[in-house]
Amino acid sequence: MTVSTGVLRAEAIRFLPQLPLPKLHALDALPMGHFTKVILELDGLLPGLPAGSWVADARPARDQTMHFLCHPFGSRLVIGLAGGAYGEALARLPEALAVQEGFARLIECVGVSHGRQLVKGAFTDWATDPLYLGGYAYLVPGGGEARVALGESVDVRLHFAGEAVALALIQTCGGAFLSGQLAAERIVAARR
């Protein structure tokens, strides 16, 4: 089982019999946080910003922080990253408005557009996408060993993997991959 804790908490997938109580408590301790990426393709590189550099507004509006990864791998892309309530609010906008918001915030960060035009843009809608219902699972204060509890198998047949149960590289695709490898190893070991 590799779906997000958002999907499991929303009971978009139901289990018969119901998941054991420790697993349900673990889900309560691992709600989904919000994280949005606004991908901007410009008609050229922004001068003075080398590939892989970062910029952010020095004084963002309250709770509206956005950081930008500029020209990853030398591309014309600039990727805006916003989390929390601001990331969720961006994800609830229509794509065109979210892209325009991201471009406007970029201009605020670099001062001027340096003549660069926005060619096209996109954004991740993890907050409202029913396949995710958030960007990553975070551990609530007092959540303790919820990642371990969620990662334990149920009756040797139901195994959990994904970024929510990762113990290394938590909240990342790398962590999800590693947890999947671990779950696969447990399944193979149980069959021997």
Question: Is residue 23 predicted with pLDDT exceeding 90?
Answer: yes
Q: Which residues contact 69 (CB under 8 A, 6 or more apart)?
A: 52, 53, 54, 78, 79, 81
Residues paired with 83 in a beta bridge: 35
Question: 128 falls in which pLDDT band (50, 70, 90)?
Answer: confident
Tokens for 43? 């008609």
Cis previous bond, 50, omega within 30: no
Calpha distance 11→158 (Å, rounded): 16
- The model's pLDDT over 2-16, given as tens digits with 9 standing for 90+, comes to 999 999 999 999 998
Question: 191 falls in which pLDDT band (50, 70, 90)?
Answer: confident
pLDDT of 24 reads 94
In this prediction, residues 54-61 reach a mean pLDDT of 82
In this prediction, residues 146-169 reach a mean pLDDT of 92
- Single-letter residue type at 166: A
- The model's pLDDT over 60-84, given as tens digits with 9 standing for 90+, comes to 777 788 999 999 999 999 999 998 8
pLDDT of 158 reads 92
Site of tokens 């922080």: 65
Question: Is residue 147 predicted with pLDDT exceeding 90?
Answer: yes
% of the chain residues with pLDDT over 70:
100
For residue 119, which phi and psi values (nearest 5 degrees)? -80, -50
Calpha distance 119→113 (Å, rounded): 13
Q: Indicate the pairing of strand 32-33 with strand 67-70.
A: unpaired
Question: 85 falls in which pLDDT band (50, 70, 90)?
Answer: confident
**Residue spans per domain, the chain:** 5-31+141-191, 35-123
- The model's pLDDT over 100-126, given as tens digits with 9 standing for 90+, comes to 999 999 998 888 777 889 999 999 888
This prediction's pTM: 0.79
Average pLDDT, the chain: 91
Site of tokens 């963002």: 60
